[in-house]
Structure 1
């Protein structure tokens, strides 16, 4: 009998420490609280402690889900972890997470590094594993601690990004399909526009040697060991590629009026408002859930879905179009039936 992949539960975890607009305004006097909020739509970001890693957030998000009773711990047969801030270069953080969660040693586990499109990519991977009979109960985990890559003197990224993890349970069902119509895109020519230049094998860090700091024309200070974002190029990419991806999901068998909600990567207010207007989507169907957590990279869509569930906006029977986009450049979209 055929089996189909379906999302059955989502939980998320935010660090205890926060970074408010008041604190940012003190560090960047040229930007007051109102200006920061008007540009970003964000009031608060959550930031990990110095000794806290992505796996710690991932562990707590997974424990929330497993302790909810929605699935037996012993039934999890695969865990995949999307992160660009792993605990180590090797081994895979997913393997460490499997042990911490006390999952079966017959459980598959791997990391993948995909960033803002990572949740949609993960759903596609989960669908493939389940619908080819390789797994039945998958923990799709997204966890990011971009704050560890951000220079405190760089307001271009410090005002946007927050740390978070989400755990999504994808299970086999005989009904379906519940996740479908996947579309993907990649343009590695944009890699340089959202990058941490130093730290990998191409440009290794030098032990006990701090890289030089520099200040750009906008007054943002960073080194090549810090996160760099070319905001104007990222915006141009998003305005060009994402509408094309979005409309490719639809045809005569699946039309725009069949969609109840749109869950885009929760980048920031300016980006999402611009995309919504360009694609001509109604405000009341467009999920915006980043005011109290910021841009949480691969966790932004599952957090937005969970918040929509908690508010009663997303209920059983609703149809959602999810779209992720960003670092890479990488982008992806799909249809999720709840």
Structure 2
């Protein structure tokens, strides 16, 4: 029995409202457009409307995938939805997505709660389902509305994160990229460095005071909190090792990788990772300027554009690395067909 799994197609959806650097500068005059662009590498990010949920965006992304790649949705036999902003505590949002897409009731469907490592983990789960003969065509969706967690006066997080959903068809039969072997990592000691403390069972309905940090960013435990310094230090320590271990797991040398597609956190982070991991500029792919950090969707969006730009050539090896909230990290290799 073949255990091969392929990425057959990728599409994505961005909400309608554009939060540009000009708008942010208007709200926070002390931050110049040039300063924002230089540090983050981001000019625009897309923000979900008040009543638009991750589930809604997941449906949009999947329908774009079906239309853009002429996919018969009756072939789908499993749905994996990666989100940290589900429509409800229960039921699982993937069940709602199955119904709204009009998929067969014979499909399996579940949510997975992961952030910036989520796409790589999703690929691993999809490959496992295929390898164990549980599914043949898996709809892997990443969908996130972090903007709903961010305090309106938290300019640091507001400049980085954008909302988006990406949909991928993972198939046992064929595709543009074969999914090879995986490397994973977890360190829950860093969990409080990127967190929304209230809302779950630990702090259900807990009241929270608003605070202001040294950079004049407002937040409370109801909002997204990110300790940028600790996240940066974790990333520089973990990701070069992740790249090394992913290469070893796949019996490859770094020189055999044709393109590195890492989680698109922000330009400052990516530039430092590129330097620390000693990756050549021409092999390091960045697509963040016009969508921002879309959490679990950054890698599939980057892959979509790399493919459009003919950066994924036959027989190329592409290394994927996701990392962030949790702490959680994961890597794999794609062999382009």
Q: Report the Cα distance in structure 1 between the residues aligned to 2:12 and 2:302, rounded to whole angstroms.
A: 10
In structure 2, what is the equivalent of residue 269 of structure 1? Answer: 267
- Whether the aligned pair in 1 keeps the contact of 2:11 and 2:166 (CA below 8 Å) is yes
Offset, 1:57: 1.1
Q: What residue number does 1:182 align with?
A: 182
Conserved in 1, the CA contact under 8 Å of 2:9 and 2:69? Answer: no
Q: Secondary structure at the match of 1:322?
A: strand
Deviation, structure 1 residue 118: 0.2
**What SS does structure 2 have at the residue aligned with 1:42?**
coil
- Which consecutive residues of structure 1, in runs of 5 or more, have no partner in the other structure? none
Does residue 1:216 correspond to 2:221, yes or no? no
- 1:71 is displaced (CA, Å) by 2.9
The corresponding residue for 1:18 is 18
Closer, same or farther: CA 98–219 of 1 in aligned 2, 3 Å: same
| Contact residue 86 and residue 93 of structure 2 kept, 8 A | yes
User: Cα 1:69–1:303, aligned 2, differ >3 Å: closer, same or farther?
Assistant: closer
Q: Does 1:245 align with 2:242?
A: yes
SS at the partner of 2:19? Answer: strand
1:7 paired to 2:4: no
Shift, 1:120, TM fit: 0.2
Q: How does 1:1-338 map to 2 (within 5 A)?
A: 1-173=1-173, 178-206=178-206, 211-251=208-248, 253-338=251-336
Q: Structure 1's 25 and 91: CA in aligned 2 closer, same or farther, altered over 3 A? A: same
8 Å CA contact 1:3–1:175 kept in 2: the answer is no
Deviations along 1:141-194, one digit per CA (max 9) or x if unpaired, are 000000000001011211100000000110003899921220000000000000
CA distance in 2, matches of 1:43, 1:278: 25
Write the distance in 2 (CA, Å) between the matches of 1:74 and 1:130: 17
What is the distance in 2 between the residues matched to 1:281 and 1:303? 21
Query: Which one is further off, 251-260 or 276-285?
Result: 251-260
Q: CA deviation at 1:205?
A: 2.0
> For residues 84 and 31 of structure 2, what CA distance do their matches in structure 1 show?
29
Offset, 1:70: 4.2
Q: How many residues align?
A: 335
SS of the equivalent of 1:289 reads: coil
Instruction: State whether residues 214 and 222 of structure 1, in contact with CA within 8 Å, keep that contact through their aligned partners in structure 2.
Output: yes
The gaps in structure 2 that reach 5 residues or longer are none
What TM-score results when the alignment is normalised by the length of structure 1?
0.96
Aligned to 1:2, the other structure's residue is in SS state coil
Distance, in Å, in 2 between the alignment partners of 1:146 and 1:259 is 32
Q: Is the 8 A contact 1:3 1:173 kept in 2?
A: no
Q: Deviations over 1:241-294 (max 9, x none)?
A: 111111112249311122111000000000000000001101111110010000
Moved more, 4-13 or 59-68: 59-68
Larger displacement relative to structure 2 (241-250 or 228-237)? 241-250
| 3-state DSSP of counterpart to 1:298 | helix
Q: Return the alpha-carbon distance in structure 2 between the equivalents of residues 203 and 324 of structure 1.
A: 28
2:9–2:175 Cα contact (<8 Å) kept: no
8 Å CA contact 1:77, 1:106 repeated in 2: yes
Measured in 2, the distance between the counterparts of 1:174 and 1:3 equals 12
Secondary structure of the corresponding residue to residue 121 of structure 1: helix
Task: Measure, in 2, the Cα distance between the counterparts of 1:46 and 1:303.
Answer: 13
Output the aligned Cα RMSD. Answer: 1.6
Which is worse superposed, 97-106 or 165-174?
A: 165-174
Separation in 1, partners of 2:145, 2:242 = 28
